[in-house]
Chain A
Amino acid sequence: MRYLPLTEPDRAHMLAVIGAPSLDALFADVPDSARLDRPVDLPYVKGEAEVERILSRLAAKNTAAGAGPFFCGAGAYRHHVPATVDHLIQRSEFLTSYTPYQPEITQGTLQTVFEFQTQVAALTGMDTANASMYDGSTAAAEAVLMAHRVTRRAKAVLSPGLHPHYAETIRTLAHSAGVDVVRLPLGIDNEAEVLNHLGPDVACIVLQTPNLFGTATDLTAVAEAAHAAGALVIVVTTEAISYGLLKPPGAMGADIVAAEGQSIGNGLNFGGPYVGLFAVRDKLVRQMPGRVCGETLDADGRRGFVLTLSTREQHIRREKATSNICTNSGLCALAFTIHMSLLGEVGLRRLALLNHQAALKLRSALEVIGGIEVLTPRFFNEIAIRLPVPAAPLVDALALKGILAGVPVSRLDPGAGMDNVLLLAATETTQEDDIAALVSGLQEALA
């Protein structure tokens, strides 16, 4: 087997040094009844070419997003990632390094994490960010648990625009922690609805902008009202490029931002790995989950970086830790940081405008189709439309023609009574002929 360097003479020599009669003897502690005396019933070793053939065949059964007109969003977005990003994250020293527990020999990782934290804080308009979470949805769930710890209140109110699978992730994690989760029925433009559910027992409200339907909302007034009631304000964003164009959560009163960072530096990957962004107000830093990198000095007085505030974390505090998270999304965060460094503010703002522009064109093209109603009043790069027919079968039919027309709301929340509502995202990768193909596909299907 090509990954195993030991030879038979090596093994024999090593057994002699150990003083063990056989390789099997090394497993003497395993109870006899549980010891397998032969390989399990699975295929045997394969060469590189054969493995490549098998997996390439599986890959070929899928329709890559880039293969045709593509409008899926709803929490994951297709953007162009510069070739430089993927090249750099495949450097051995980044790719095959562990968590930077030995700072003297992991300054590369640590300095990029420090850059990442600074970039995330700037993008979200918050004071401080951590070194990443698994993805936006688990970041949101951790944010709710954190609000529960900070406020010692046990209720979370989730807005009508929150992604249903984010809501479900929050509910799953909060349930066992004893947090009562109130999820409001899906709504396109009523994030403020949460205010009708405030009370002395509410730890936090969870808002999303742009929300599931693409609606962008100025949350300032909602946040003020929530604060007046003693609740923390958690703002979720699933499209991080929107920070390049829209007023950030930090400027609207957010206490915690839980966002999906996939759009910057990371591909679609059928849902993962992605990178959760987690940013807070300074006063909340010590209740934050996850790793944090901080600046310090070495023995010679030179600047360096270390993982810090680890007394919040599981390996020190065990059952009293702020979270059980250990491994995070290091390499995805690095991809984010490199892409962000290539973009700079100038590039990010321009990229964000191009996304918005593509969505404006998409809207214009869709709203003239008979029977289609555009539902999203203000948006960044994603809109919801109401079709005269159920969206799911229509999307399936268009897929057969090579058009990936978007995400039916019924796929995310079948009980929402929104069977005819379709979510469509446009990005800088969306070309005018993609939109034209979608329009004619829809017209044909609806004719």
Chain B
Amino acid sequence: MSLVNVGRPTRPEIETTPAAVVPASLTGAHGLLQDEALIFELGGWEKTGVDLPEPEINGSDLGDLYRTDPISLPGLSEPETVRHYVRLSQKNHAIDLALYPLGSCTMKHNPRLNEKLARLPGFADLHPLQPASTTKGAVELMAGLAHWLTTLTGMAAVALSPKAGAHGELCGILAIRAAHEARGDARRRVLTPTSAHGTNPATAAQAGYDVEEIAQTADGRVDLADLTSKLGPDVAAVMVTNPNTCGLFENDVIEIARLTHEAGAYFYCDGANFNAIVGRVRPGDLGVDAMHINLHKTFSTPHGGGGPGAGPVVLSEALAPFAPLPWIVAGPDGPELLEQATSEASDALGRLCVFHGQMGMFVRAYAYMLSHGADGLRQASTDAVLNANYIKARLQDVMSPAFKGLCMHEALFDDRWLEGTGVTTLDFAKAMIDEGFHPMTMYFPLVVHGAMLIEPTETESKAELDRFVEALRALAAAAKAGDVHRFKGAPFHAPLRRLDETLAARKPKLKWTGG
């Protein structure tokens, strides 16, 4: 029903209300955003939102194993549950609402077709240990996904089971470790650039290696001289992100691979930024031995507020024999899962997880790839790079690009342009929230002072890019004009103001304890 305007004023009676006299709401609500309590403050201890039949037993057969103490879990009726979680959802920003420029995160559109297909009972209601004769279509899909991933990367094999990017890194480094061990060649060190994602050194350490950093050149790339000086017979692997976290293609990548191989080490590529080059460059042609692919970045499976992801790892001929179980192998009537270390898979490095990996993500990513096709994927990476360069070009006169020239799929700025304004990168990011945008990645990579890393992705229209650019230009002008309060106090219009993270860490309160 539309509002009947007749006889009613449609303009505010007060033209402008000074911000200082805007009254706070009486209830804690924020416009239509409710001040929503925790489930533990809302729910009833006797309440439930499910109707289940009355059990015929009472658990007395379990004796001492029976749980007697209260569990202390409140319940809500169905309408209350819906309202609680819908209200909470409204306090989130999302890619469905606006450009989400988190560099290195590839926040692109998540097609709903993929959600629908992942919910087909033939995929969603399938047990991982059902007899093989009842899961042929699922394994065929995995084989299809594997074919696309190996073709797009030009690599020999792929391990599908890793559950996220960092898990994929671990898989790749463990395969490298297994390859060295198989030759009786115990190596101790892994080299990775200072600009690397934190997961790279963390992964190498988790795999039992000492981590050493490779310096970066003034133009934001791996310093070959430093790399050469650090390579040696005890280096197991060199881990490089390409395009790197400065948004630049490592133009010496083939030489990096050659030097790495010459030292008897393997070349691991962090594939977090694969979105920039899909269909234009095959990592296998660059000399890469292992690379994880974040299906939740490059191939658009939803981020879900922090997961689940999927991190399949493509492997070179040299590393393929060490892939973890399960393997997908050719059977007499189609692809099959090989789940045990038979003679065929005697070098398999073990198992990354209990079952076969993130099938739900495989379905979504496969649907995404089939939808694009080889031509669409190439256009997607091209548009991702075009969009980033457009943002860089349109902001470079008011903000300071960290590096000159073209970028790949993300544009990196430093904070030189904020010098003397009293505004920091953090302040600027928080002020973006008031203008309706999620901040870019801040203070990463660590090699750039006050870094602001903007990744628009290919699924943004020119109109949305322009809206974003205009917002940032307006903010830049405000910062330079001395409007410091706008930044220091930001955000003003978000569901909450700036949160005290120091307090949270000093006295950790990690669960509801009543009162």
The yes or no verdict on A and B being binding partners is yes
Q: Judge whether A115 and B433 touch: CB under 8 Å.
A: no
Q: In the complex where A62-B135, A292-B510 touch, is A176 in contact with B207 (Cβ < 8 A)?
A: yes
- What separation, in Å, do the CA atoms of A41 and B373 have in the docked complex? 10
Interface-central residue, A11, A57, A58, by most chain B CB under 10 Å: A58
Of B109, B117, B130, B459, the residue contacting A55 (CB under 8 A) is B117
Question: Which residues of chain A from 1 to 35 have any CB-CB distance to chain B below 8 Å in the complex?
Answer: 1-7, 10-11, 13-15, 17-20, 23, 26-31, 33-35
Does A237 lie at the interface of the complex (its beta carbon under 8 Å from any beta carbon of B)?
Answer: no
| Interface 0/1 of B118-134, CB less than 8 Å to A | 11111111111111111
- What separation, in Å, do the CA atoms of A414 and B247 have in the docked complex? 48
Q: Which residues of B contact A42 (CB under 8 A)?
A: 148, 151-152, 369, 373-374
| A187, chain B: closest CB distance, angstroms | 19
Q: Judge whether B366 and A94 touch: CB under 8 Å.
A: no
Does B89 lie at the interface of the complex (its beta carbon under 8 Å from any beta carbon of A)?
Answer: yes
Does A39 lie at the interface of the complex (its beta carbon under 8 Å from any beta carbon of B)?
Answer: yes
Does B271 lie at the interface of the complex (its beta carbon under 8 Å from any beta carbon of A)?
Answer: no
Q: Judge whether A347 and B90 touch: CB under 8 Å.
A: no
Does B316 lie at the interface of the complex (its beta carbon under 8 Å from any beta carbon of A)?
Answer: no
Question: Which residues of chain B from 449 to 505 have any CB-CB distance to chain A below 8 Å in the complex?
Answer: 458-462, 464, 489, 491, 494-501, 503-505
Does A344 lie at the interface of the complex (its beta carbon under 8 Å from any beta carbon of B)?
Answer: yes
- What separation, in Å, do the CA atoms of A83 and B151 have in the docked complex? 39
Q: Judge whether B122 and A105 touch: CB under 8 Å.
A: no
Q: Judge whether B49 and A272 touch: CB under 8 Å.
A: no
Q: Judge whether A117 and B73 touch: CB under 8 Å.
A: no
Q: Which residues of B contact A325 (CB under 8 A)?
A: 164, 166-167
Q: Judge whether A296 and B45 touch: CB under 8 Å.
A: no
Name 8 A/B residue pairs within 8 A (Cβ), A-sorted: A1-B371, A1-B373, A5-B462, A40-B151, A67-B121, A103-B496, A304-B499, A344-B49
Question: Which residues of chain A from 50 to 81 have any CB-CB distance to chain B below 8 Å in the complex?
Answer: 51-52, 54-67, 70, 72, 74-76, 78
Does A300 lie at the interface of the complex (its beta carbon under 8 Å from any beta carbon of B)?
Answer: yes
Q: In the complex where A176-B174, A360-B57 touch, is A18 in contact with B389 (Cβ < 8 A)?
A: yes
Q: Judge whether A346 and B304 touch: CB under 8 Å.
A: no
Q: Which residues of A contact B129 (CB under 8 A)?
A: 72, 74-76, 407, 411-412
| Interface 0/1 of B246-289, CB less than 8 Å to A | 00110101100000000000000000000001011110011000
Q: Which residues of B contact A428 (CB under 8 A)?
A: 52
Q: Which residues of A contact B92 (CB under 8 A)?
A: 93-94, 97, 100, 105-109
| B275, chain A: closest CB distance, angstroms | 13
Q: Judge whether A123 and B73 touch: CB under 8 Å.
A: yes
- What separation, in Å, do the CA atoms of A18 and B387 have in the docked complex? 10
Q: Judge whether B375 and A44 touch: CB under 8 Å.
A: yes
- What separation, in Å, do the CA atoms of A17 and B390 have in the docked complex? 7
Does B95 lie at the interface of the complex (its beta carbon under 8 Å from any beta carbon of A)?
Answer: yes
Q: In the complex where A244-B67, A330-B308 touch, is A93 in contact with B512 (Cβ < 8 A)?
A: no
| A371, chain B: closest CB distance, angstroms | 21
Of A4, A20, A171, the residue contacting B350 (CB under 8 A) is A171
- What separation, in Å, do the CA atoms of A17 and B391 have in the docked complex? 10
Does B406 lie at the interface of the complex (its beta carbon under 8 Å from any beta carbon of A)?
Answer: yes
Q: Judge whether A304 and B496 touch: CB under 8 Å.
A: yes
| A377, chain B: closest CB distance, angstroms | 11
Q: Which residues of B contact A95 (CB under 8 A)?
A: 94, 96, 110, 115, 302, 304
Q: Judge whether A44 and B373 touch: CB under 8 Å.
A: yes
Q: Judge whether A5 and B74 touch: CB under 8 Å.
A: no
Q: Judge whether A350 and B462 touch: CB under 8 Å.
A: no
Does A195 lie at the interface of the complex (its beta carbon under 8 Å from any beta carbon of B)?
Answer: no
Q: Judge whether B128 and A76 touch: CB under 8 Å.
A: yes
Q: Judge whether A92 and B97 touch: CB under 8 Å.
A: yes
Does B224 lie at the interface of the complex (its beta carbon under 8 Å from any beta carbon of A)?
Answer: no
Given pairs A4-B376, A59-B120, A268-B128, 15 additional interface contacts (CB within 8 A): A3-B372, A15-B386, A39-B373, A51-B371, A88-B81, A96-B95, A96-B107, A96-B110, A96-B302, A173-B206, A269-B360, A270-B135, A273-B308, A330-B304, A344-B75
- What separation, in Å, do the CA atoms of A3 and B458 have in the docked complex? 8
- What separation, in Å, do the CA atoms of A30 and B408 have in the docked complex? 10
Interface-central residue, A34, A64, A82, by most chain B CB under 10 Å: A34
Contact residues on B (Cβ < 8 Å of other chain), bracket: 35 or more
- What separation, in Å, do the CA atoms of A165 and B86 have in the docked complex? 38
Does B361 lie at the interface of the complex (its beta carbon under 8 Å from any beta carbon of A)?
Answer: yes
Q: Which residues of B contact A91 (CB under 8 A)?
A: 85-86, 89
Of A227-235, A396-404, A436-444, the one touching chain B: A396-404
Q: Judge whether A172 and B350 touch: CB under 8 Å.
A: yes
Does A104 lie at the interface of the complex (its beta carbon under 8 Å from any beta carbon of B)?
Answer: yes
Of B1-9, B10-18, B58-66, B416-424, the one touching chain A: B58-66
Q: Which residues of B contact A324 (CB under 8 A)?
A: 166, 169-170, 199, 202-203, 205-206
Q: Which residues of B contact A400 (CB under 8 A)?
A: 133
Does A326 lie at the interface of the complex (its beta carbon under 8 Å from any beta carbon of B)?
Answer: yes
- What separation, in Å, do the CA atoms of A153 and B104 have in the docked complex? 37
Q: Judge whether A10 and B462 touch: CB under 8 Å.
A: yes
Of A30, A260, A319, the residue contacting B201 (CB under 8 A) is A319
Does A334 lie at the interface of the complex (its beta carbon under 8 Å from any beta carbon of B)?
Answer: yes
Q: In the complex where A268-B124, A330-B304 touch, is A351 in contact with B52 (Cβ < 8 A)?
A: yes
Q: Judge whether A18 and B136 touch: CB under 8 Å.
A: no
Does A246 lie at the interface of the complex (its beta carbon under 8 Å from any beta carbon of B)?
Answer: yes
- What separation, in Å, do the CA atoms of A319 and B203 have in the docked complex? 7
Does A376 lie at the interface of the complex (its beta carbon under 8 Å from any beta carbon of B)?
Answer: no
Q: In the complex where A59-B120, A331-B302 touch, is A268 in contact with B125 (Cβ < 8 A)?
A: yes
- What separation, in Å, do the CA atoms of A150 and B379 have in the docked complex? 50
- What separation, in Å, do the CA atoms of A61 and B58 have in the docked complex? 41
Q: Judge whether A314 and B199 touch: CB under 8 Å.
A: yes
Does A283 lie at the interface of the complex (its beta carbon under 8 Å from any beta carbon of B)?
Answer: no
Of A46, A344, A350, the residue contacting B73 (CB under 8 A) is A344
Does A327 lie at the interface of the complex (its beta carbon under 8 Å from any beta carbon of B)?
Answer: yes
Q: Judge whether A102 and B152 touch: CB under 8 Å.
A: no
| Interface 0/1 of B83-103, CB less than 8 Å to A | 011101111111111001010
| A422, chain B: closest CB distance, angstroms | 12
Of A7, A75, A119, A338, the residue contacting B355 (CB under 8 A) is A75
Q: Judge whether B307 and A118 touch: CB under 8 Å.
A: no
Q: Judge whether A176 and B206 touch: CB under 8 Å.
A: yes
Nearest CB to that of A36 among chain B residues? Answer: B280
Of B72, B97, B294, the residue contacting A345 (CB under 8 A) is B72
Q: Judge whether A134 and B353 touch: CB under 8 Å.
A: yes
Q: Which residues of B contact A370 (CB under 8 A)?
A: none
Does B231 lie at the interface of the complex (its beta carbon under 8 Å from any beta carbon of A)?
Answer: no
Of B75, B137, B504, the residue contacting A296 (CB under 8 A) is B504
Q: Which residues of B contact A113 (CB under 8 A)?
A: 306
Q: Which residues of A contact B127 (CB under 8 A)?
A: 65, 70, 72, 76, 78, 268, 270, 404
Interface-central residue, A62, A331, A340, by most chain B CB under 10 Å: A62
Q: Judge whether A111 and B199 touch: CB under 8 Å.
A: no
Q: In the complex where A108-B91, A109-B92 touch, is A354 in contact with B55 (Cβ < 8 A)?
A: yes
Q: Judge whether A102 and B248 touch: CB under 8 Å.
A: no
Interface-central residue, B110, B302, B339, by most chain A CB under 10 Å: B302
Q: Which residues of A contact B116 (CB under 8 A)?
A: 52
Does A114 lie at the interface of the complex (its beta carbon under 8 Å from any beta carbon of B)?
Answer: yes
Q: Which residues of B contact A411 (CB under 8 A)?
A: 129, 339
Does B380 lie at the interface of the complex (its beta carbon under 8 Å from any beta carbon of A)?
Answer: yes
Q: Judge whether A61 and B308 touch: CB under 8 Å.
A: no
- What separation, in Å, do the CA atoms of A316 and B446 have in the docked complex? 10
- What separation, in Å, do the CA atoms of A244 and B417 have in the docked complex? 58
- What separation, in Å, do the CA atoms of A5 and B367 have in the docked complex? 19
